[in-house]
Structure formats: C-alpha cells, structure tokens
Homo-oligomer: A and B are copies of this chain.
Amino acid sequence: MSGAAAGRTDTVEPGARRTRQRTAVLQALVGFRDFISAQALCALLTEAGVSVGLSTVYRTLRDLERAGRLDVVRDETGERLYRERPEDGHRHYLICRCCGRSRAVDTEVVEAWADRIGEHTGFTDVEHTLELTGVCAGCAPSAQQGETSCRQESPRRPSDPRRSPR
C-alpha cells in the first residue's frame, strides 16, 4: 500500500515514461469534465502555458484510449471527442446537440440486453456503442423558434473550449 492508489494522473500506461507533456494532457483531461476534441485540448494546453505538440496530444490520447482510461464519442462530423473515464468503467452519455453539455445515463437495461445478444445470434465477443443526443433543458427555449437558432451553425463541437466547461 505505498504508491498503490495510483491511477488518477499517473502515467498513461504502466511502463510508459512520465513526461511533462503526458502529465499535462492527463491533468487537463481530469480537470476538463466534458468531452473535448484532441485539437481543442491542445489549444487549451497552449493557452494554459503548457504547450504540447498536436502529434503528442494525439499519441497520448491514443495510448490512453488503448489503456481504457478514456471514453470516446464521435460528433456528427465524425470528429472524436475524449473524456476521462470515471473509475468504474463502461458508460454512455446523453449529449446536448446545442451546447455540448453531457451527462452520463443509467444503462443497466441496455447492458443486460447487449450481453444477451450474443446468445441469440451466434456472435461472440460482442461489443457495443451507444450514443444519445438531445436538446438539454437550457437549450430547449432557444431551439424552439424553428430549430435554427441553436442547432444551426456550430454543430456542438467544443472547438472553443471555453464554451462547454462548467
């Protein structure tokens, strides 16, 4: 029980080196509670004075994803958005199409169903992807007047990180 309680902002992978850049990416992800794109994250770091090369951000995110420490969703353009995975693991999120705010949803029902799918189909090693989008209570009013005011241009990609956090 010494350095056992590691986990939070330690290293990307066991055996990986602890560098300024990886630490920065990891910390930024932990601090940033919404989904964020690789590029936005890079910009965020730069603004914070902890500049990290875009390639390194992508590499680190790739490694983190492999290590199962991230949740990844895709926005409607196919761009990947990352978020630190809460300690327990597998989750699904409901994301507002307007402001990008997200909240985890309870998916026991779906998980149970998905687990049973293999049996009926002869498929093994079944994995699933589930994404929910909607318009959050805060955005609903502005979206009323014809769906155009909110959803219109910016397709909820937090390319400007200062809009989604908090």
A127, closest chain B residue (CB): B133
**Within the assembled complex, what's the spacing in Å between the Cα atoms of A155 and B94?**
28
The answer for the CA separation of A31 and B68 in the assembled complex, in Å, is 39
Q: Which among A7-15, A17-25, A134-142 touches the partner chain?
A: A134-142
> Quick one: which of B103, B124, B126, B132 contacts A128, CB cutoff 8 A?
B132
The yes or no answer to A96 lying at the interface (CB within 8 A) is yes
Once A109-B109, A110-B113 are accepted as A-B contacts, the answer to whether A134 and B123 lie under 8 Å apart by CB is yes
Q: How far is the CA of A137 from the CA of B126 in the complex (A)?
A: 12
Number of interface residues of A (CB under 8 A): 34
Integer count of this chain's copies in the complex: 2
Q: Is A121 an interface residue (CB 8 A)?
A: yes
A59 at the interface (CB under 8 A from B): no
CB-based contact A105/B131 at 8 Å: no
User: Contact between B94 and A117 (Cβ–Cβ < 8 Å)?
Assistant: yes
- Asked, given contacts A74-B78, A117-B94, A130-B130, whether A123 binds B109 with beta carbons under 8 Å apart, the answer is no
Is A125 positioned at the interface, with any CB of B under 8 Å from its CB?
yes
Given contacts A78-B74, A136-B122, contact A117 B130 (CB under 8 A): no
Report if A121-B135 is in contact (Cβ < 8 Å); known contacts: A78-B74, A129-B129: no
Chain A residues proximal to chain B, CB less than 8 Å: 74, 78, 80, 94, 96-97, 103, 105, 109-110, 113-114, 117-118, 120-137, 140, 143
